[in-house]
Amino acid sequence: MKPGDGKTHKACAALCLRGGIPPVFVTGPDHAAYVLTTAGGRPIQGDDLARVIAVVGDRVEMSGRPWMIDDLYFLDADLTSVRRLTP
């Protein structure tokens, strides 16, 4: 999606997530991308997905456990820790 920010991205990303595309968390300056999962590497669904959609496209911080398979990074996210940051 280009541009990858702003209201257009937020709306498009929410539609993708509702359609089953897994959410990705992109970190600060290095732009590392982590596929978000819940504990044990399970897909994000239900109430957890609603939490992600509520902040998609916004700057946030969260805690979780990173892991990887080959060169793909994942984050078992604690979605109760998500906090929106000011722009």
> What digits encode the pLDDT tens for the residues 21-50?
999 999 888 889 999 999 889 999 999 999
Question: In the predicted model, what is the mean pLDDT of residues 11-23?
Answer: 94
- Tokens representing residue 73 in the block: 């990074």
Entry pTM: 0.85
> CA-based Rg of the chain, rounded to a whole angstrom?
12
Question: Which residue would you say has higher pLDDT here, 79 or 1?
Answer: 79
Q: Which long-range contacts (CB under 8 A, 24 or more apart) does 56-61 make?
A: 56/10, 56/13, 56/14, 56/17, 56/23, 57/5, 57/6, 57/9, 57/10, 57/13, 58/10, 58/84, 58/85, 59/84, 59/85, 59/86, 59/87, 60/84, 60/85, 61/85
- Label residue 4 by pLDDT band (50, 70, 90): low
